[in-house]
Amino acid sequence: EPEVTQTPSHQVTQMGQEVILRCVPISNHLYFYWYRQILGQKVEFLVSFYNNEISEKSEIFDDQFSVERPDGSNFTLKIRSTKLEDSAMYFCASSETGGMNIQYFGAGTRLSVL
């Protein structure tokens, strides 16, 4: 069964550094999402992406965050200058067009900002 793939599984970075989290969505999917989960808290929506542009973003997704689909397969989340409070599990998800709209999730990247 096709899966959403995320790399790396764990990223450790120093505060103020830039990080890029990578995702390979399921190949025929056209909608892409990033969510995050701070330890002990809810899974929270960050951003959705369709047709090479952001379709919706949350208030969490400020100017420090950006997303990109640099080629036909990857979908990336960049955090420009990481803060301690960015430490969380980041999940990528994708869904196909049409009525099914089931979001399939990757295994997540644990980001630890020191």
Partner 1 sequence: AQRVTQPEKLLSVFKGAPVELKCNYSYSGSPELFWYVQYSRQRLQLLLRHISRESIKGFTADLNKGETSFHLKKPFAQEEDSAMYYCALKAGGTSYGKLTFGQGTILTVHP
Instruction: Give the closest residue to 38 by CA, choosing from 103, 84, 76.
Output: 84
CA distance 46 to 103: 14
CA distance 80 to 113: 13
* Surface-to-core class of residue 74, CB atoms within 10 Å of its CB (0-12 exposed, 13-18 middle, 19+ buried): middle
- Binding region for partner 1 (CB under 8 A) out of 17-25, 39-47, 63-71, 72-80: 39-47
- By C-beta, is 46 or 82 nearer to partner 1? 46
Q: Quote the least distance from Cβ 97 to partner 1, whole Å.
A: 6
CA distance 83 to 68: 21
Which one of 13, 22, 24, 31 is in contact with partner 1 (CB under 8 A)? 31
Which one of 81, 97, 112, 114 is in contact with partner 1 (CB under 8 A)? 97
- Kindly list the residues in this chain that would bind partner 1 in the complex (CB under 8 A): 3-4, 31, 33, 35, 41-45, 48, 50, 55-56, 58, 91, 95, 97-99, 101-108
